[in-house]
Amino acid sequence: MTPEQLCQLFEYNHWANQRTLDTCAGLSEEHFKRELGSSFSSVRDTLAHICGAEWIWHERLLGRSNGVRPTASMFPDLPSLRARLDEIDNQLVLYVSRSTPADLERSLEYKNLAGKDFSSPIWQILQHLANHGTYHRGQVVTMLRQLGGTAVSTDLIGFYRERASAAHS
């Protein structure tokens, strides 16, 4: 993928996260934190996992791996989670927008959370990260429906259509 394509992918990721958070704004605190038996027990925990994963990968991309990883308990409510995820999403968009083709081809050596060593090209890491968020946003959609709410589409084609419509306005 080119830097431009990856930048667009991370602009989409930010857009999709924001749409998901907007949809969750209608949840009561009890529903936001209600255990529903998914991969991560609640809407809050799933969104916090997306936030934590984005943070971990961004830190690795910057050559850092120390620090406090965002966890669900750090987010008592949706506004606190939204603020942190928005910050990380903006940092990722900036990181990708400054990347060159050579940067994206470079392999990154890192340890996973279990301490196992890996090496992957940066473009693969970035594709993985965007895909990871899509997977977990889909889980949030299911949880929202379990709670009696409605979900908004975060399909990539919707992002493209919205951008095209805005460009013609």
Q: Tens of pLDDT along 112-141?
A: 888 899 999 999 999 999 999 999 999 999
* 102, 106, 107, 154 from 58: Cα distances, Å: 18, 15, 15, 22
Mean pLDDT of 139-156: 93
CA distances (Å), 75 to each of 30, 125, 131, in order?
A: 14, 26, 23
Residue 155 has pLDDT above 80, yes or no: yes
Average pLDDT of 95-108? 97
How far apart are alpha carbons 143 and 132 in whole angstroms?
17
For residues 154 and 134, the answer to whether their CB atoms sit within 8 Å is yes
Query: Which residue in 162, 126, 114 sits closest to 9, CA to CA?
Result: 126
Q: Helices (H) and strands (E) in the chain — how many of each? A: 7, 2
Q: Tokens standing for 42?
A: 């609640």
SS3 for 168? Answer: coil
Q: Which residues pair with 107 in a beta bridge?
A: 121
66, amino acid identity? N
For 39-46, the CB contacts below 8 A with 24+ separation are: 39/136, 39/139, 40/72, 40/136, 40/139, 42/72, 42/143, 43/140, 43/143, 43/144, 43/147, 44/72, 44/75, 44/78, 44/81, 45/72, 46/136, 46/139, 46/140, 46/143
Token pair in block for residue 91: 């940092």
Query: How does pLDDT run across 12-61, given as a tens digit for each residue?
Result: 999 999 999 999 999 999 999 999 988 899 999 999 999 999 999 999 99
